Amino acid sequence: MTDLDQDVDFAVLPLGGAGEIGMNLYLYGWGRGLNRKWFMVDCGVMFGDASTPGIDIILPDIEFIEDRRKDLAAILITHAHEDHIGAVPYLAHRLGVPVYGTKFALLLIRQKLEELGLEDEVRLKEVRAGKKYSFGEVAVEWIPVTHSLPEPNALAFFTPAGTVIHTGDFKIDRTPTIPPEFSFDRFRQLGDEGVEALVCDSTNAIRPGRSPSEREVAAELRKIIMEAPQRVAVTTFSSHVGRIRAVVEAAEEAGREVVVAGFAMRRVIEAAREVGLLDTRHRFLDEEAFGYLERDKVLLLCSGSQGEPNAALSRIADDAHRNIALEEGDLVIFSSFTIPGNEKAVFSVVNRLAMLGVEVIMNTPERLVHTSGHPRQEELRELYDLVRPKRLIPMHGEFLHMRAQQKLAEEHGIGETALMADGELLRLAPGPAEVLAEVESGQWHLDGRLLTPGDDGPTKQRRKLSYVGVVAVSVALDFKGNIRGAVQLVADGLPEVTEHGELMEDVLIDAADAALEGMGRARRRNDETVIDTLRLAVRRAARAEWGKKPVVHVLVQRV
């Protein structure tokens, strides 16, 4: 190491994941100001909702680092959840740097790249946990933690300014159902050596106590499956290999065959087999086998825990699945939590299952069929005691969760804490932690096959259309301003009739006709004048009858 220039530091710049749950992308950089050698930690997505009509996937805006890709050393993956790897297939090829991760994460990333035909455009480099990888003056180590899928890791950055730990997603589970075990000794060793900053998962920081172990959930699932008299269906997150294995082992003990429905679920099962977490003795049948099995000899493992309309469970609840049907006396277990925003969709599926006479079990204190993969307050305190950082930086959570962790760390005696937001460059080492600069950050939307701006892209207009509808008006005029045909009008998303029983389209056509007649030939010679006049007339008429002003488009044809 060399003597440090006071202006040289190690800093973090989140482009997603600070102030929101999802879309995790953190840039770590060694250097001065915005002139740094950068490392991208994770590259994830969020999912669209009612506020983003037509958009299923939301990605972080990477324009800042794309403009500096010559200074980007690598993309470093902590684990394989969609909010950490989901954007890699859409963004990594634009950056031209390798993606480093453990085997399971890279298997899922490769599958996604192959679907897009980009497998030859992105270099994937497998890492081994516990080994340091050098990138000039900075080295990185993957440190195994426990979470809700295979091979989760924290990252330790070894810099000339000291060590910084990025936890990734984790919990402290002393009895996980799949490897790895939590790296107590390594975190303690790093704490003994000195840690400048701990950048830490905040998702469950508002919750006291500890998250239950996966072993407790496995025991409850086994009990329910063993006692079920008829068919059993279990829906969970497709990436949750530990949960899948617990369900499969319980089914085998109960003498049930396991049928899999859902492409994502089957893809994860294949990856888990490749890394040795599901062996060949576990038999998975295709959904076509479901109808040939006795009701008390089948367990269905299916997608749809979040109420997704095209997922297997939603189609089953509609009694519209080609190969699978449930009936009165069967049982569905939601071995998952409901992501905020999905409550209505999930309970719609639950109610439709109830209408079929199907029993539904969801997670409750009495029926522990799910546990979080994120640390509650006691687990956070335990990590603080292992690492003993000089400063604590909350990340991965909404500001409610991040502030809760900040307060917890301060009460625990950590000397310095700081909050960061997307787009803020925060110094981590050498201290003190402070915001050094702010850069543009935001969202991109995956709209069909195209990436579009999140703020000013087509979604903004669609959102407006979803509230007020659209009217298209067409008029035919000659070049002298004479009217050469009747006004044509089409309205979408408006009420069909007014409160007086008139057809809404007729009312709007009358308003357009009157406005057009009232203009006079001279004014009708100017297209822009015609467009503005008719647009205002139609909007006013709609507002008078409906109370809302639709989006109006006017087409002028000169004949």
Which residue in the block uniquely carries the two structure tokens 């008029």?
Answer: 475
Average pLDDT, the chain: 95
Which of 453, 483, 501 finishes a domain?
453
- Return d(Cα 446, Cα 305) in angstroms, integer: 23
The CATH code of the domain that includes 481 is 3.10.20.580
What does the pLDDT look like over 338-368, one tens digit per residue? 887 789 999 999 999 999 999 999 999 999 9
Domain termination residue (choose one: 309, 327, 361): 361
Considering the domain architecture, whether residues 47 and 192 belong to the same structural domain is answered as yes
The answer to whether the beta carbons of residues 556 and 475 sit under 8 Å apart is yes
Spatial distance between the Cα atoms of 451 and 449, rounded to a whole number of angstroms = 7
Do 141 and 28 lie in one domain? The reply is yes
Helix (H, G, I), strand (E, B) or coil at 59: strand
Domain assignment present for 392: yes
- Looking at the fold, whether 420 and 510 belong to one and the same domain comes out as no
Q: Which of 42, 44, 10, 37 is nearest to 157 (CA)?
A: 10
Are 192 and 67 part of one and the same domain?
yes
Is the same domain home to 311 and 420?
no
Q: Which of 53-57, 179-183, 299-303, 311-315 has the weakest average pLDDT?
A: 53-57
Is 228 among the domain residues?
yes
Residue 19 sits in the same domain as residue 148: yes
- Tally of domains within the chain: 3
On whether both 156 and 234 belong to a single domain, the answer is no
Are 275 and 239 a contacting pair, CB within 8 Å? no
75-96: pLDDT as tens digits: 999 999 999 999 999 999 999 9
162: CATH: 3.60.15.10
**In Å, what is the CA distance from 314 to each residue of 291, 293, 302, 516?**
18, 21, 10, 51
For residue 138, name the pLDDT band (cuts at 50, 70, 90). very high
Residues 474 and 547 in one domain: yes
Which range among 4-8, 55-59, 190-194, 223-227 shows the weakest confidence by mean pLDDT? Answer: 4-8
Evaluate whether 334 touches 360 at the Cβ level (below 8 Å).
yes
| pLDDT at res. 521 | 93
At residue 4, does pLDDT exceed 60?
A: no
Statement to judge: residues 281 and 357 lie in one domain = yes
| Domain-embedded: residue 63 | yes
Residue 342 lies in a domain: yes
Please tell me the predicted confidence (pLDDT) of residue 1. Answer: 36
Check whether residue 356 and residue 339 sit in a common domain: yes
Whether residue 339 is contained in a domain is answered as: yes
CATH no. for residue 233?
3.40.50.10710
- What pLDDT does residue 2 have? 41
With beta carbons less than 8 A apart as the criterion, state whether 336 and 370 touch. yes
Confirm whether 132 is domain-assigned.
yes
> pLDDT digits over 250-279, tens only?
999 999 999 999 898 999 999 999 999 988
- Is residue 4 included in any domain, yes or no? no
Picking from 52, 57, 133, 127, the residue whose alpha carbon sits closest to that of residue 88 is 57
Quick check: 105 and 80 in contact, CB under 8 A?
yes
- State percent of the chain over pLDDT 90: 91
User: Which range of residues forms the domain containing residue 389?
Assistant: 9-209+372-453
Domain presence at residue 462: no
DSSP-derived secondary structure letter, 298: E
Distance (Å, whole) CA 61 – CA 305 = 29
Examine the domain organization and report whether 80 and 146 are in the same domain.
yes
* pLDDT higher than threshold 70 for residue 3: no
Q: Are residues 64 and 204 in the same domain?
A: yes
Mean pLDDT of 387-399: 97
pLDDT tens, position by position, 517-542: 999 999 999 999 999 999 999 999 99
